[in-house]
Structure 1
Amino acid sequence: MYYSTKRAYLWATTALIAGLSFAAPVFAQAQAEVDLGVLVLGLSKRDVQTDTATAVTEVDQEEIDDRQAGTVAELVDSVPGVNLVNGSTPQGSGINVRGFGSNATFGSDQKVKIIVDGADVGAEELYRIGTQLFTDPELYRSVEVIRGTVGSFEYGSGVVGGVIRLETKDASDFTGGEPGFVGNQALQFSSNGDGITSSTILAWQPNENLELLANYTIRDENVPTDGSGTPIGTKGFKLPSVLLKAKYTFGDAREHSLAFSYTDSSTDDRDVPYDTFTTTGVGFGNVDRQTESRTASLSYDYNPSGNDLIDLNVVLSYADQEIISEGTSGQTGFLAALVNADQRYETTKLAFKNTSLFETGALSHNLRAGLEFIRKERLNASSAPGGTDNRVAIFAVDEMSIGNAWTITPALRYETSKIKGSTAPNNGAFDNSALMGGISVRYAFDNGFAIFGSAAYTENLPILDDLGNPAFMVTSEKARTWEFGAAYNGTDVFQGGDRLAVKANIYFTTLWDVTSYQAAGLPFNSPINFIETKGLELEASYSMASGRYVDLNANISRGNENHPGGTTADWRGIPADTVQFTLGKQFGEELDLSWEVVADRRYTRSTTPVPGFAVHNLRATYALQQGILEGAEIRIGVENLFDKQYTRRLSTRPARGRNVKLTLAKSF
């Protein structure tokens, strides 16, 4: 079936986007192969972060609920520069940011950092096993995505793609900060895969100083089908998840607080493909696989009244990912060692961070400085070496403002690493260290426009995965990124009571001393001299006093890898050019209706071109405002409305066909 598309275009003409303009596009069902041509404008339901030079996007609780995501990855796939490797199942999916992160071979390349309540998770290069961000979206109240390097130095080293920070729900989100007991029950049903999800939350505040929360979520789904009706895989999944959280505030001025959070998600898969990126056991055979992901954090905050120099945060966190695998297809030799390998990696981190507000002459400072102690322990496996990685890091980020116009933010991070292998022959000891940093500059005009730019340098220190290659253990991967952009935020732009927010980023990244990848199309172990990526990311939102709104996100990126001898190839991590457009209307606080179009341009920069597509999603949220069901919410979503058959660039299996979702939620 063939369809046509009408579009409006936003022209990006210079690195600083000399003119920002927009028009609301109108989409009909698209042809089987869509050529986006010039960059198409799209807007988002979320607030565009126009007040910072950092490329950052925040997904709040309202959007989390609205998207009815089945995985955490699906919460962030609408962020420009973020693309999924598959994405609709907890395992075998991955997150790619600016061309780095997950790929079809490993669930991580160490260049996208994932943090849950301060705990570092999902950072192992396990062969043919997808992301280790193994948890349920119902546990979280917000997700922050920082793209690129310049905003990453207080979170880690080696960040080339970006940082994804998840915060779990608090009891006060349901009690409103008032003493009392509140329960919340949500049920979600999905037609494609006969999925059902139950999320039960109990929140209790005995008094205004103590809050307690317990959340049990179970997600159960059979095998979904693609747009042609073909099953995607052979097995469904069942994912139970637990969140326990407590916070106690004390002191004469409530200047102290202690908080604890614990999450646990697990699956028990039987006779499933070892290779989580495929839908069959061909090549590696099948396995019985148990997966469990646990995180815990204990934090202390001290913010004395009347002292702007002290706002102290201390976090002790622990992340434990365990994968127990047993082959069921009679694998022998190398395959037996691979599929029967049990994986476990534990990360303990103690982090101190203080925020100080002060002035020096005309400069106003927001200085964040910290010290981190990180210990990673990895179980030795027949498929990968084990050992310990002990790190110490210090960082400082000083956001300096001159009036309301200039903001200059230098950042530094110094990190040391001591790695020791646990078992011969991979039991060597290696010490490494690196100084890294960057600076961003932003200038805000009086009329709502702002321009900004940044430069950043980072190093990805050697990791436990590379103990089998001593040459890699003394070489850190290095990356440099330049960014330029412009933003606008204004009200009463076209009519009274409206608001327009637009932000565009252009980036250029070079990665060298590459150890995470081998040269494409060349013999095994052929090195890459360097990788270059560049792209344009656009976010925009427009809302009217009448309740109508328009959202747009768009991403265009390019990249290449340089091989010895001067030959080049297109960089394998680059996604297709993408635009996401949403048109909606809110009817007071009662009803929200929206129509979303997601379109990828045809990708031709590979030996196997990937067809373009446009899919349509409908969403409706109805919140009852009175009666016995006051506060209840009914959410209905239809994803891939026209049941289109397509596979996204970077994915290894087709996308899900039409999927109708119904969510019923009520607090009591």
Structure 2
Amino acid sequence: MAIARSRHFRHWGLSVLALVAAAPGVFAPAAFAQDLSEEALAQDLSDDGLVPGDPSAVFLGTLQLGESKREIQTDTAVPLTTIDEEEIEDRQANTVAELIDTVPGVTLVNGSTPQGSGINIRGYGANSVFGTDNKVLVQIDGANTQAEEIYRVGNQLFTDPALYKQVTVLRGTVGSFEYGSGVIGGVVLMDTKDASDFTGGEIGWRLNQTLQASSNGPGFVSSSIVAWQPTENLEFLFNYTYRRQGDQTDGMGDRIADSAFTLPSYVLKGKYTFGQNRDQSLTFVYNDSTSAERDVPYDSFSVEDFGNVDRDVHTKMTGLRYQYGAFGNDLVNVDVNLTYSEQTIDSSYVEGSYPGDPYWITDLLNADQRYRTTRLVAKNTSYFTTGGISHELRAGIDISQRQRDDAYSAPGGTDKRVAIFAVDEIRMGNFTLTPAFRWEHQDLKGTSYVADGETLPYDGSYTNTAPMGGISARYAFDNGFAIFASAAYTESMPPIDDLNNEVYATMPERSRTWEAGFSFSRMDLFSDGDALRFKVNAYKSLLWDVTTYTSSTRYSLDKVATEGVEIEASYAHGSGFYTDVNANIANGTETDARGTETPWRGEPPHSAQVTVGKRFDKTWDVSWEMVANGSVDDRNDVHTPGFGVNNFRVTYKPQDGLLEGTEVRLGVENIFDKAYQTALSTRMSPGRTVKLTVSKLF
């Protein structure tokens, strides 16, 4: 299936909105458990002071109504998608990026391997030259993990999917002000697993062992988790994951060069709960992952021949978090999170691997990169009522320091920032208004940099200050429909990379985004026990004062305009049948200083994903998935054909007997062994891959 490409975005958007409105039976929410009764739901709602049928009961996004692969967040104006632990395990992903590739607006750059891969959201993030453009934030347990703009090297998100119990994707700007500035693409938030996720809060030991084998590579994964809860208030977790893969082949049987990797990683985590009412907790986490490559191209995107290197990447993150929810006082809910993340990339040139005279390139290939980020975020959430208006006010301070050591062609320096933020979710009956504000101050200071083998002093110092913010509004009708809209403005502070350009170092990039859409959520719509949900969101963004990119005409870039429609929909029947639909329609242009307009280099393809599945009690889950991309002609007139790829998944979970606690998953990706390449990638995608996973909780 190929989706036709069109520059007439407005006609596309109106057609999609009309289709969803006219055919609600086609676009529909994730499955609910077969044993969920109307009486049980009514009891759960009444326990929370809610009445079945009341619109506030319909839009509780945190209420988990039975088992579901993905629950659509219809209760918020923010474009938000959450992938829970069950879906993480179900997808059998090699990389964190592969976990979120079905989220509308998310496109992967070489996503099946850690090297040379990245995450692109709404056209921003990773591209074929740099692993990041600093317009997509990636955070693990609150720690920033994305790298600086390293030339021809991927974003180095070398963490294993098995370590996480939840991944949340916030698209666009309006929901980003608690997490950082300059977000145009979005935010990826990852939460590591806790010991109590395995012990169930009971005192004792639990061991979870997972083994996975894949045919294309071939690949092997072992994930071992030890959870220990010595007392009710104290818990510890240790996870070690070893992931290995050989070079994959594409749908034509050709080897995908340098797609092999070895990726060991581990997590240590402890939590202590205390206080007279157990209303305080202290959590420590350490996350460590490494990757070793030998005699591989320096250019991890495989675009240019710079010669080969031996490269070792080590990423680690440490966090200490204090939480206090004052018993009987809704005004005090304190969350203080101190994190430290560090990434080192040691690279050594392989003699004789560059075909020409290597005098100018060996410094680049021998450059060692090191980044260290310390961040303290302290915030408080208050719940209160003024008259008939309820508030959820989240306010705090964000202090960070990012250090980069000197490396060839990249100046070393420090990036210190202080920010204050506030987000107030104001509810007035069926109407919700959420203003958000962030003020940020930056001190950018350089040390030195290396050019042509010579270390040059660079002691430039610059300051930048910017207010930014946004507002969203949502109104919920009594029939399950809701409408929403938002507007947001942000500024992207100059990175350390801009220290050697005085103009760029004092000129933050600026952007604004407008969004609007509608959602629907209803239970027992066509029959008892069924559920229908969908959410449609349209956006339009403009970026100006552009310093991150250069134009294809080698003139300075004046502005970047992007717009799109994102669709999430699902339907579930009480019999266990379910279907999910995700779609993305996007267009973008970049304009240089002369006024010449060309397609935006990060523009993702039109895409659609459809899943149809059936649950048989709690034991079996069988699903088929189709992923389709439209064709793309980029700014260099390079044509990337559209494609349709089919995947199949089966999950078996025995509920009793000797196999109780065992989970068996069989996945077949790219069933028909299709040869294809996604629009933003520089490599062919893998051909048919069979994955078998066995997990046991002891």
For Structure 1 versus Structure 2, the TM-score category normalised by the shorter chain is over 0.9
Give distance in 2, aligned partners of 1:313 and 1:218: 33
For the pair 1:396 / 2:422, whether they are aligned, the reply is: yes
Deviations 1:416-437 (A, max 9, x none): 0101101144320001110000
CA contact (8 A) 1:615 1:644 kept: yes
Q: Please state how far the C-alpha of 1:14 moved relative to its aligned partner.
A: 7.6
Q: Please state how far the C-alpha of 1:631 moved relative to its aligned partner.
A: 1.1
Q: How does 1:497-536 map to 2 (within 5 A)?
A: 497-520=529-552, 522-523=553-554, 526-536=555-565
Q: Paired residue for 1:32?
A: none
Change (3 A) 1:268 1:123: closer
Percent identical pairs in the alignment equals 54
For the pair 1:136 / 2:160, whether they are aligned, the reply is: yes
One-letter amino acid matched to 2:547: T
CA contact (8 A) 2:287 2:316 kept: yes
Q: Please state how far the C-alpha of 1:605 moved relative to its aligned partner.
A: 4.8
Deviations 1:171-227 (A, max 9, x none): 011011111110000000000001000000000111110110000000011110000
For the pair 1:46 / 2:70, whether they are aligned, the reply is: yes
Give distance in 2, aligned partners of 1:234 and 1:504: 39
Match of 2:588 among 522, 542, 559: 559
Q: Paired residue for 2:348?
A: 326
RMSD across aligned C-alpha pairs, in angstroms? 1.7
For the pair 1:316 / 2:324, whether they are aligned, the reply is: no
Partner SS, residue 471 of structure 1: helix
CA contact (8 A) 1:462 1:476 kept: yes
TM-score (norm 2): 0.89
Partner SS, residue 301 of structure 1: strand
Q: Please state how far the C-alpha of 1:604 moved relative to its aligned partner.
A: 3.2
> Unpaired segments of 5 or more residues in structure 1?
26-43
Q: Please state how far the C-alpha of 1:23 moved relative to its aligned partner.
A: 5.0
One-letter amino acid matched to 1:349: R
For the pair 1:539 / 2:563, whether they are aligned, the reply is: no
Give distance in 2, aligned partners of 1:382 and 1:53: 45
Q: Paired residue for 1:428?
A: 460
Partner SS, residue 224 of structure 1: coil
One-letter amino acid matched to 2:560: I
Q: Paired residue for 1:646?
A: 676
One-letter amino acid matched to 1:353: K
For the pair 1:255 / 2:279, whether they are aligned, the reply is: yes
Deviations 1:571-629 (A, max 9, x none): 01011100000000000110000000000112235401111110100000000111112
Change (3 A) 1:601 1:284: same
Deviations 1:514-566 (A, max 9, x none): 0110012x13xx21111000000000010000000000100000000111222
Q: How does 1:278-317 map to 2 (within 5 A)?
A: 278=302, 283-317=305-339
Q: Paired residue for 1:619?
A: 649
Change (3 A) 1:413 1:85: same
Q: Paired residue for 2:45?
A: none
Q: How does 1:371-390 map to 2 (within 5 A)?
A: 371-390=397-416
CA contact (8 A) 2:250 2:675 kept: yes
Q: Paired residue for 1:156?
A: 180
Match of 1:583 among 596, 608, 612: 612
Match of 1:495 among 501, 509, 527: 527
Match of 2:228 among 164, 181, 204: 204
Give distance in 1, aligned partners of 2:476 and 2:15: 18
TM-score (norm 1): 0.93
Give distance in 1, aligned partners of 2:458 and 2:607: 43
One-letter amino acid matched to 2:682: T
CA contact (8 A) 2:266 2:288 kept: yes
Q: Paired residue for 1:667?
A: 697
Q: Please state how far the C-alpha of 1:492 moved relative to its aligned partner.
A: 1.6
Matched residues, number? 638
Q: Paired residue for 1:226?
A: 250
Partner SS, residue 633 of structure 2: coil
Q: Paired residue for 1:13?
A: 14
Q: Paired residue for 1:459?
A: 491
CA contact (8 A) 1:124 1:132 kept: no
Give distance in 1, aligned partners of 2:583 and 2:197: 32
CA contact (8 A) 1:80 1:554 kept: yes
Q: Paired residue for 2:56?
A: none
Q: How does 1:60-99 map to 2 (within 5 A)?
A: 60-99=84-123
One-letter amino acid matched to 1:433: T
Partner SS, residue 581 of structure 2: strand
CA contact (8 A) 1:113 1:123 kept: no
Q: Paired residue for 1:30?
A: none
Change (3 A) 1:327 1:235: farther
CA contact (8 A) 1:235 1:272 kept: no
For the pair 1:116 / 2:140, whether they are aligned, the reply is: yes
One-letter amino acid matched to 1:556: I
Higher share in helix: 2
Q: Please state how far the C-alpha of 1:131 moved relative to its aligned partner.
A: 1.3
